[in-house]
Structure 1
Amino acid sequence: MNTKITGADLLAIGYKEGSILGLALEIATTKFEDKDRKEVLAVMKKARDYPENFLDDEIMEPLAKAMIEEVTTPKNETIPLIANPADYKIYGAEFIEEGATKQMNTAMKLPVTAAGALMPDAHQGYGLPIGGVLATKNAIIPYGVGVDIGCRMALTIFDIPEQHFHDNVAKFKRELIAQTKFGAGNGFKGKEKADHAVLDSKEFNLTPFIKQLHDRAYAQLGTSGGGNHFVEWGIIEFNEHDEMLNVDKGRYIALLSHSGSRGLGATIAGHYTKLAKELCKLPDEAKNLAYFDMNTAEGQEYWMAMNLAGDYASACHEVIHQKMINAIGGNVLAKVENHHNFAWKEIHNGEETIVHRKGATPAGKGVLGIIPGSMTAPGFLVRGKGDESSINSASHGAGRQMSRTAAIKNITKDQMHAVLKEHDVMLIGAGLDEAPMAYKDINTVMAAQTELVDIVAKFTPKMVRMADDGSRED
């Protein structure tokens, strides 16, 4: 099928005149000849809004790299890498792609690296691989944190029995649509806007650059992004009483959400990565791991901006969950939240380090976290074991086994609908690139990290909402 996509079509979805537009047009017109025009434009827009998600994609990788490489490279003296870096632990090595291990190998060569680990859901990213954990000595790496700063999982467990959901599906669907908003650039207007104490944070006055992001943050508060971000209803099952949460054995309705710091975090990431590259020139293979010394003004500024973005991401989830609690009713038994794409000050081998977890879940001893599967696969509420070899970390999900364009080219809508029906899952939005078959088997991933976490409860998705095309809703 001839898609007949033109440069004007790409300009209309956000591309700008220049070499990137030409590359995007070439890919759109030569690589997707047999695909529906709307589907191709959707994936091209998703690539424009979330280029980092396409770095492991055999078709879209050149375009993704070109867009990210618009960040300038510095011309000061190059900092040499370490010739013989320390070893690091890989969990589930047999199903981790070579690109991810190559990126981790490079990260281990940084002169500021103290230790590293690679989680079983790892795949190639930008700078540090997704699923990469890196402890550094008094240094912070913007692309070791990632673009979607403070991206997190949030879980609310209700005292509502499972049957109530099945008896009131229409209401749960109506409120899920009414109380959420998805897609890159999307936000609320006027009286729709939510309020939260995070908007009064003094860090918004940190610099003129941060201050000018306040209005956008206000508009997007309580919204979710595109890509693999979701808000979903499901059933969580406890096989025994959990003392920490004070939840009895049983099956309960639960709300699970996954999203991050929206435009605020993405803009902060781009700005400080560019600044880091200007101040810290590394060899080409490591240039996207440019770092700030924590003793510098720039390092402290990024640290505060990163934490602001993390607090904002948490506030977005709080707004979403409170809206849903108000709409559905019932008592809240427990709430659990954890985040990734962040850096923490932690003691490792007796010394304070900056631990970057890019797509990895904190799993210190006794720490609760949520590890999702896919829209049809179960997720797990877990408790960390505090394993030092993993730098107190675990996976942040199942991880992709199929690139986004490979999923679009090889999975049909009928196949995706069949899988949803088989698992009795209602889907609102999402494209073929988020099809369940594009992800690794979550049970295999969990089996590879039994020494890292204990499973507390199992979450089964029943109604999932995502952005229609990964960027903007119609």
Structure 2
Amino acid sequence: MKDELINGNDLIALGYPANAVMKECKIILETHLSTLPKEQALEKFKLVLEDTQAFTEDDIWKNVAKILLSKPAKVIIELKDLSKSGTYNIFGQEYIEPGAKQQMQLAMRLPITHSGALMPDAHQGYGLPIGGVLATDNAVIPYGVGVDIGCRMCLSILDIPLYHFDENASKFKRELIAHTVFGAGAPRLKNRADHAVLHDPAFDQVPFLKQLQEKAAMQLGTSGSGNHFVEWGIVKIQDEQNEWNLPTGKYVGILSHSGSRGLGAQVAGHYTKLAEKLCSLPQEVKRLAYLSLDSQEGQEYWLAMELAGNYASACHHDIHQRLVEATGAEVLARVENHHNFAWKEQHGGKDLIVHRKGATPAGKGVLGIIPGSMTAPGFIVKGRGLATALDSASHGAGRLMSRKQALIKNNWNELRSMLKDHNVTLIGAGLDEAPTAYKNINQVMQAQSELVDIVGTFKPRIVRMADA
């Protein structure tokens, strides 16, 4: 077989069981399909799987067909009884919809679950709720990390005087448009960047990642659609004991929110499907299928997840570097954090895998960014390391309306008036991202006052998002 070789994961992704049939498939690959391109060989395996009975007398495929037809019925993994699932801690309970709580309760019933927490910005998602934190024993849930792996915040605090920013607002707007690219189908940037992350050994170690390397290179330094943004704004440092020894006061800053683009989405989709085939859960928790970290598949996903996280970070740094160079600024300080990721951490003396799907790491002394909306302030925070929150905090204000509801209930005249009242210039975005679609960030911050301390704030001034 030419070029890439089919491996067990490819066959499992088609629907083949991870059992004795793999040995027979390997024999066929080596003796009968070695000259075929990968896609054609996979088509052969797909045909056998779709009409197995037709191949029971075939000289080449009969052993495979026999094993497939004799395979035992899938054993559905039982969930913990509600009385044994354990409780999870909720912060800002009055701001969280019932659907998010129901999803969290189901996640607590997984046999691998150790503990959990729900942040005050939480709302219903797919599988684990957005704003859900779940600690598991030696297993990772691809959909518990999320589709946009490594979605993160990055804030650069600059040496630009406030008066210079105000007097040259049109120039800063032009540079923001010139040096950012948004959207799922966005073209590559004119000056394609190179970065060490594009040469990460993981691309060669995991066959599935190799085919995504070119896409990653093309999208490096671009931003996604939806709630992703890059914006100029005013940073206010209010903590005299800040990490950077900056005098308290106001500074110009760049704040960005984006993730791992097509690379992360492809990784999430591939390994979620793989987990669902290997881990048969009841329908209501199907999306929470998990991979043991003792398995090859679990190790592969972990490697791919870390690559996607590093790639997301590289994208932010590339965006910030272009804007810093375009304006002749100097970076005085930087704060950044993931909020769609899984970490190996120790809690209560036990080694755990902590999934934060739309939640900010808030271990003691850990810095992070919690944004508001296009007109509401974001917050620079320092974690307080609260054990009952699994060292976590919210990742933003959290949605109050679904995108569909926001498109129906909001209108452009009201949005334009709101932007004017807050002295915000908006480039792109749709009504589904209007500030009224989000919870009140000040209420959310009050609900998590025991989780984080506020170091400073960020007030948006020029906001760039994907076109509606």
TM-score by length of 2: 0.83
Does the Cα contact within 8 Å between 2:242 and 2:455 map onto a contact in 1?
no
**1:382 maps to 2:377:** no
Distance 1:240 1:279, change over 3 A: closer
Matched, 1:162 2:177: no
**CA distance in structure 2 between the aligned counterparts of 1:77 and 1:452, rounded to whole angstroms:** 41
Q: Distance in 2 between matches of 1:356 and 1:301?
A: 17
Please give the per-residue CA displacement for 1:169-212, whole angstroms capped at 9, x wherever unaligned: 111001000000000121416x5211111001000112322100
| Structure 2: distance between partners of 1:171 and 1:126 | 41
Whether the 8 Å contact between 1:383 and 1:454 is mirrored in structure 2 is yes
> For residue 111 of structure 2, what is the amino acid of its counterpart?
P
Q: After TM superposition, give the deviation of residue 159 of structure 1 in Å.
A: 1.6
Equivalent in the alignment of 1:334: 333
C-alpha contact 1:75 1:281 (8 A) present in aligned 2: no
Cα distance in structure 1, aligned partners of 2:239 and 2:195: 36
Write the mapping of 1:23-102 to structure 2, written as runs, cut at 5 A: 76-83=74-81, 84=83, 85-102=85-102
Equivalent-residue separation in structure 2 for 1:301 and 1:442 (angstroms): 37
Change beyond 3 A, Cα 1:240–1:117: closer
Distance in 2 of aligned mates of 1:110 and 1:403: 27
The CA deviation at 1:306 is 0.4
1:216-262 CA distances to partner (integer Å, 9 max, x unpaired)?
00000000000000000000111243341221111000000000000
Q: Give the Cα separation in 1 of the matches to 2:238 and 2:450.
A: 20
Match of 1:138 in 2: 138
Aligned to 2:358: 359
Structure 1 residues 301 and 80, CA, compared in 2 at 3 Å: closer, same or farther? Answer: same
Q: Deviations over 1:291-325 (max 9, x none)?
A: 00110000000000000000000000010000011
* Residues 335, 367 of structure 2: 8 Å contact kept: yes
Match for residue 431 of structure 1? 430
Q: Which runs of 5+ in 1 are unaligned?
A: 1-73, 470-474
Matched, 1:303 2:302: yes
- SS, match of residue 275 in structure 1: helix
State the secondary structure of the residue aligned to 2:159. strand
- Would the aligned equivalents of 1:185 and 1:263 in 2 still touch at CA under 8 Å? no
Shift of 1:75: 6.7
CA deviation map 1:240-290 (0-9, x unaligned): 433412211110000000000000000000000000000001011111100
SS in 2 for 1:125: coil
1:341-352 matches, cutoff 5 A: 341-352=340-351
> What is the match of residue 71 of structure 1?
none
Q: Report if the CA contact (8 A) 2:342-2:355 is conserved.
A: yes
Secondary structure of 1:177's counterpart equals helix
Partner AA of 2:78 in structure 1: P
Match of 1:407 in 2: 406
> What CA distance in whole angstroms lies between the structure 1 residues aligned with 2:192 and 2:405?
38
My pick for the range that moved more, 260-269 or 330-339, is: 330-339
Given the superposition, is the C-alpha separation of residues 240 and 106 from structure 1 closer, same or farther in structure 2, using an over 3 Å criterion? Answer: closer
- 8 A Cα contact 1:242 1:248, kept in partner: no
Residue 76 of structure 2 aligns with an amino acid whose one-letter code is: T
Q: Name 1:219's counterpart in structure 2.
A: 218
- Counterpart Cα distance in 2 of 1:257 and 1:368: 16
Q: Identify the residue that residue 235 of structure 1 maps to in structure 2.
A: 234
Identity of counterpart residues, as a percentage? 64
Larger Rg belongs to: 2
Give the SS at the match of 1:277.
helix
Instruction: Tell me which amino acid in the other structure corresponds to 2:278.
Output: L
The CA deviation string for residues 313-365 of structure 1, in whole angstroms up to 9 with x for no partner, is 00000100000110111221101110111000000111100000000000000
Paired residues in the alignment total 395
SS at match of 1:184: coil
Partner residue of 1:122?
122
Q: Which runs of 4+ in 1 moved over 2 A?
A: 239-243
CA contact (8 A) 1:239 1:250 kept: yes
- Counterpart of 1:133, as a letter, is V
Alpha-carbon offset, residue 107 of structure 1: 0.3
Distance 2:155 2:238 in 1: 18
Q: Which runs of 5+ in 2 are unaligned?
A: 1-71
Counterpart contact for 2:182–2:223, Cα < 8 Å: yes
- For 2:390 and 2:464, the matched residues in 1 are separated by 33
Determine if contact 1:336/1:369 at 8 Å carries over to the other structure: yes
Amino acid at match of 2:329: G
CA contact (8 A) 1:159 1:330 kept: yes
